[in-house]
Structure 1
Amino acid sequence: MGMRSVAVACGALTLCLALTTATNPGFVVRITQAGLDYAQQQGIAILEKELAQLKLPDFSGKSGKVHYSFSSLRIPSFRLPYSRITPIPNVGLQVSISNAFAELNGDWRVKFLFIKGHGSFNVKVQNVNMKIILRLGSDTSGRPTISTSGCTATISNVRVRFSGKLAWLYNLFHRIIERKLRKTLESKVCDNVARSVQNELQKQVRTLPVTARIDDKIGIDYSLVAPPRATTQSLDLDLKGEFYSLAHRSPVPFSPLPLAFPSDHERMVYFGASSYFFNTAGIAYHEAGALVFEITEAMIPKEAGFRLDTYLFSAFIPQLEEMYPNMPMKFKLSTPTAPFLTIGEGGISFQPIVDIQAYAILPNSSLAPLFLLSLTGNVSAVINVRSGRIVGSLDVGRIRLSLKDSAVGTFQVHFVQSIMNYLTSSVLLPRLNARLDEGFRLPLPDRIQLSNILVRFHQNFLLLGADVRFQPRG
């Protein structure tokens, strides 16, 4: 084999591997059969309204010497009492409707030899059965798409009743009229279903956020990494689930791990937020310079009983009293690297490393660096869902300090341990938790509310379960 053949073979192999290697999601949404059942209730209510506005064409014909025409066909009601949505693996969803019924009204005209007449008619349509296949996919932006790939409608019972002069003529050939109406309805019902899917369902699906802006610095990428996947029991959406800086988006230096999603089906919808999802948040906020905090005298609660100044620390650092006597101080906290958390059955935990630079504030408001501490500690997180957002709070265990640099001589850091414990728990942590309490938006379409929240921890991901309720426009 020549070098060119080898190169072609290697290129083909690389392409095949690229096509067959699936991208693991950072975030998974699972809609269970219970969720599909609820969606079916909401969708059928919309479809009933759409079918009640069905526009049927006028039609005319001839039976023997009788010329007839029908016009102003309207549907006062269309009821779909029995229906179900079921996932079809590798296809999408199947909507089955049985024993539906409708009522039609309209006007008729007849001409028989030299006799003319007109009146109204009423049609009872029963035993309407429909089967609709909804194909699911995704567009180039990673947004889900839904379309009707198949629709069949059969009507087994149509009964027409005429009123007005010469109504007896119509009753002589009512079967012809019923057959025409049945064929017209069977065709138009599927046309309206396709239109309803395009105008209503697809419009609602397109409100699913592909990106969610958190603040002026950070966003979340919720785009699909693959088309929605139907199984026999659920519908799964694999999302990228990645935080990113709005100013500059750089590649994440690691990939999401596979999620061993449990087979829970008690709730209507489940969300799987992987450790990758949360760790990209740490990277994005770190790169955006958002993990920098300052602690000043104004932030110290009055009940603390001390002031943040050099006098407080001079008892442990004698040189402070000589170099910067009785001057206010400020601490600047920053993370040298992005925090990295782990998720296990016990919850979320991480051990961040924080640099604490202490400054003296000189009379001219300039800053004199005093010392640099390194802080580490065990941090755990509590997670919940509120108003369609993931919210949380942090709890910090005992912190550990080490001295990295000092412009005021060496000192024993354990002397300042209690002060730093207080500043961390009473000043820094409440501010962090206030931000986390604002939360991050879940990938939900408009007007969807969650209830009956479930929170569970699994290896490498957080599982959130909920029931849903669709909020109509007010």
Structure 2
Amino acid sequence: MSGSFTSLTAAERQRRHWFTKSAADFQLFGQSTSHCSVSKMVVSVIVALMLVSCTCGENPAIQVVLTDKGLQYGKHVGAGWIQEKLELVTLPDISGKVRIGILGSIGYTLTGVRITKCDFPEPSVEFNQGPTGFKTSTSGLSIAVTGGWRTHYKAIHDGGTFNMALFNVDVTSVVELGKDPDGHISVNSVSCNAQIGNLDIEFSGGASWIFQPFVDYFKGHIRGEIEYNICPTVEKYIVNAEQSLQAMNVSFEVNEDLTFDIPLTGLPVIEESSLNLGFKGEFYSIKTHQEPPFEAQPFVMPVQSGYMLSAGLSEFTVNSASYGYYSAGLLQAIINDSMIPPSSPVHLNTSSMGPFIPQLPKMFPGLLMTLQVYATEVPQVSFHSGAVKMGSMAAVKAFAIQPNSTQTPLFKLLVDSEFSSKVWIAEGKLKGSMTMDNFTLSLDSTEVGTFNTDALASMAKMGVKMALSKVNKQLTEGITLPRLKHAQLVNPVLTLEEGFIAICSDAELLEDIDFN
């Protein structure tokens, strides 16, 4: 019987991949004005993955790859979003004291600070292998802000407005990705460095003519205050992202029968031009929650640098769903005559079955029949280069319905069937074709005496072929691919490999996406 599980023994090292877009809140400035370029870019490349418990060491059944092309696209979108939101930002007050020669300490507060202009060069984001994560750099950022000022020198209090410009702001941050003991992705700030090249400030109103000559004293102190607070602000948003990840889970209820678990199975793996994440990808029966008697086999996802991302689905994931239904006793059905089309030449009654089982209408004349169909083994799916193989073993128990509604067992048939299919993506739809490779029907036991099953097998094959014809018509027309919540796939390509199925694609974020 086909449907054996396929492994790739050459896969010594698994690659784990995921295309990322942060769901963490972004407040452009925490305690400093130059944060406008950094915190979003740091957080926007962190995976907002909903991850819960996992068993360490197991092979991932789902792998996702984010390439450098995808990373750069995400960076570009994030940078554009920042530029659009800058004019809406109000910055926190900046307060301090500065000592000016013989005058002593002068206290100041800059309040109501808002950005009027930001020369925002697109940051650089790259994969970082040691430690595993991202390195984000912003260089040459210039910001113009305006607001109000207040000073107090002994009994003198004054105020007015100011305009300030920060030039050549450089910020570099390294973020490490990991996995906590429960299988959540972890996010940790490893290093951060911030420098402001220069700062100019001009006071207006009040007694600004007194303080303007001492602007060199003020701007040096203000620049230091801003530099000091940039990295703590960046790290605060990284902590917020970490907390958001910890609050999420990956145990999803698919329907009333199955749940789907996708925790991380190992540490993120970053190579020179890709981020790789591996997920458990296992379905469970809600009723039994039993582990299947087979394990996910290792497979290696090829990095397709020409695409933004790719995802691989192991045959284990599909077969775990099959086992979930099987272990809960859901792979069975009762068929009665009311379910047979009126135009069918054969119906479920002893008279109609006479040509196939001659003794049946003699032993049980004029009685309706019912069939109990159920899987005797877990149906299996296997992925091969260019084809999907599906196999199942089932049994059919036939009963005669007596006038008093009791059911009399008649016979039991065994059905062994195998199918092959090809699938591909075209015109934004999943398309394919399916053929029957084998259909064997045999008599397992009987209460009405032995009979030849060839005629019954021929009739059953005709029914299966008619059903396949309808399935293939739908597959030819195609099934529209599900649309992601905030993005859509662009020119996706599907390939069938040994042990897994892979989709490579570019992606496009929707215009109405909001990172808030």
TM-score normalized with structure 1 length = 0.82
Listed one character per residue, the Cα deviations across residues 271-307 of structure 1 (whole Å, up to 9, x for unaligned) are 1111222222222221111211233323323443443
Q: 1:58 is aligned with what amino acid?
A: S
Deviation, structure 1 residue 43:
4.2
Q: 1:161 is aligned with what amino acid?
A: E
Q: 2:108 is aligned with what amino acid?
A: S
1:332 to 361, 366, 372: 372
Aligned to 1:11: none
Aligned to 1:138: 179
Q: 1:318 is aligned with what amino acid?
A: P
Deviation, structure 1 residue 339:
1.9
Structure (1 or 2) with the greater helix fraction = 1
**Is it true that 1:57 corresponds to 2:94 in the alignment?**
yes
Aligned to 1:401: 441
Aligned to 1:26: 61
Question: Which residues of 2 match residues 57-136 of structure 1 at below 5 A?
Answer: 57-64=94-101, 65=103, 67=106, 69-76=108-115, 80-89=120-129, 90-110=131-151, 117-136=158-177
Question: Which residues of 2 match residues 237-386 of structure 1 at below 5 A?
Answer: 237-381=277-421
Aligned to 2:507: 468
Deviation, structure 1 residue 105:
2.1
Distance 1:392 1:139, change over 3 A: farther
Contact in 2 for aligned 1:375/1:402 (Cα 8 Å):
yes
Listed one character per residue, the Cα deviations across residues 417-437 of structure 1 (whole Å, up to 9, x for unaligned) are 232124435569979x99xx9
Aligned to 1:149: 190
Distance 1:207 1:422 in 2: 53
Listed one character per residue, the Cα deviations across residues 301-335 of structure 1 (whole Å, up to 9, x for unaligned) are 34434433222211121111112223222222211
Distance 1:150 1:414 in 2: 74
Q: 1:301 is aligned with what amino acid?
A: P
Listed one character per residue, the Cα deviations across residues 173-213 of structure 1 (whole Å, up to 9, x for unaligned) are 222222222222223222332233333x4466568752222
Larger deviation, residues 118-127 vs 74-83: 74-83
Listed one character per residue, the Cα deviations across residues 15-70 of structure 1 (whole Å, up to 9, x for unaligned) are xxxxxx94321211111112222332454466665994442432233323373523
Question: Which residues of 2 match residues 449-464 of structure 1 at below 5 A?
Answer: 449-464=488-503
Aligned to 1:6: none
Contact in 1 for aligned 2:284/2:291 (Cα 8 Å):
no
Distance 1:111 1:377 in 2: 89
Larger deviation, residues 366-375 vs 389-398: 389-398
Aligned to 1:16: none
**Is it true that 1:196 corresponds to 2:231 in the alignment?**
no
Q: 1:28 is aligned with what amino acid?
A: Q
User: 3-state SS of the aligned residue for 2:325?
Assistant: helix
User: 3-state SS of the aligned residue for 1:103?
Assistant: strand
Larger deviation, residues 331-340 vs 203-212: 203-212
Aligned to 1:17: none
**Is it true that 1:37 corresponds to 2:72 in the alignment?**
yes
Distance 1:230 1:130 in 2: 23
Contact in 1 for aligned 2:119/2:141 (Cα 8 Å):
yes
Distance 1:339 1:439, change over 3 A: farther
CA RMSD of aligned residues (A): 3.7
Q: 2:320 is aligned with what amino acid?
A: T
Aligned to 2:205: 164
User: 3-state SS of the aligned residue for 2:319?
Assistant: helix
Contact in 2 for aligned 1:57/1:73 (Cα 8 Å):
no
Distance 2:111 2:81 in 1: 23
Distance 1:367 1:393 in 2: 40
Q: 1:34 is aligned with what amino acid?
A: K
Deviation, structure 1 residue 222:
0.6
Distance 1:32 1:255 in 2: 28
User: 3-state SS of the aligned residue for 1:227?
Assistant: coil
Deviation, structure 1 residue 123:
0.9
User: 3-state SS of the aligned residue for 2:255?
Assistant: coil
Distance 1:202 1:260, change over 3 A: same
Deviation, structure 1 residue 122:
0.9
**Relative contact order higher in (CA < 8 Å, ≥ 6 apart):** 2
Larger deviation, residues 235-244 vs 322-331: 322-331
Listed one character per residue, the Cα deviations across residues 222-267 of structure 1 (whole Å, up to 9, x for unaligned) are 1111122221111111111222222223333333222122121233
Q: 2:59 is aligned with what amino acid?
A: N
Q: 2:231 is aligned with what amino acid?
A: C
Distance 2:434 2:98 in 1: 77
TM-score normalized with structure 2 length = 0.76
Distance 1:277 1:95, change over 3 A: same
User: 3-state SS of the aligned residue for 1:266?
Assistant: coil
Count of aligned pairs: 448
Aligned to 1:186: 227
